[in-house]
Amino acid sequence: PTAGMLWLRSTEFASGQEVAFSLTDLMGRRYTREFHRESRDQLRLDLNELPSGLYVLRISVGNNMVNRRVIKY
């Protein structure tokens, strides 16, 4: 759960491959958020402006993709 800032860490972020994010709510609405690179393997997403709720975060690095649920309160 997060109140606003979401920190993501992965060694794949440091691989030099393109990193892409997709954030949707459970109604399928997409939200555009820019990420900020904090270090070679750590990224930060600012979710402060989003309403509280459950979201699905899709992270793509190269050919790898993963989905994670995010709770914003």
DSSP of 16-61: SS-EEEEEEETT--EE---EEEEETTEEEEE-TTSPSEEEEEEEEE
Phi, psi of 55 (to 5 degrees): -130, 160
pLDDT exceeds cutoff 90 at 59: yes
pLDDT per position as a tens digit, 7-40: 999 988 888 888 889 999 999 999 987 888 888 8
Q: How much is the pTM?
A: 0.84
pLDDT for 5 equals 94
What pLDDT score was predicted for residue 17?
84
User: Which pLDDT score is estimated for 22?
Assistant: 93
